[in-house]
Amino acid sequence: MNAWFTEVQHPGLKLSCQLKDVLYACETKYQRLEVYDTVVFGRMLVLDGCIMTTDRDEFVYHEMLAHVPLMAHPEPRRVLVIGGGDGGIIREVLKHPSVELAHLVEIDEMVVEVSKKYFPKIAAGFSDPRAKVSIRDGIEYVKGISEQYDVILTDSTDPVGPAVGLFAEEFYVAAKKALRPGGIFCAQTESPMFNRDLLRRISQVFERVFTNRRTYFATVPTYPGGFWCFSMGTLGPSGDVADPKRATFETRYYTKDIHSASMVLPPFIEELVGKNV
Residues designated catalytic: 155
By DSSP bridging, strand 149-155 and strand 227-234 are unpaired
Residues facing residue 153 across a β-bridge: 81, 186
Close Cβ partners of 32 (under 8 Å, ≥ 6 residues apart): 25, 26, 46, 47, 48, 49
Residues facing residue 138 across a β-bridge: none
Distance CA 249, CA 151 (A): 19
Distance CA 197, CA 23 (A): 36
Listed residue (167, 199, 224) closest to 11, CA to CA:
224
* Cβ atoms within 10 Å, residue 62: 27
State the maximum Cα–Cα separation within the chain, in Å, rounded to a whole number. Answer: 55
Distance CA 124, CA 72 (A): 24
Listed residue (119, 161, 124) closest to 30, CA to CA:
161
Listed residue (260, 271, 273, 174) closest to 229, CA to CA:
273
Cβ atoms of 131 and 94 within 8 Å: the answer is yes
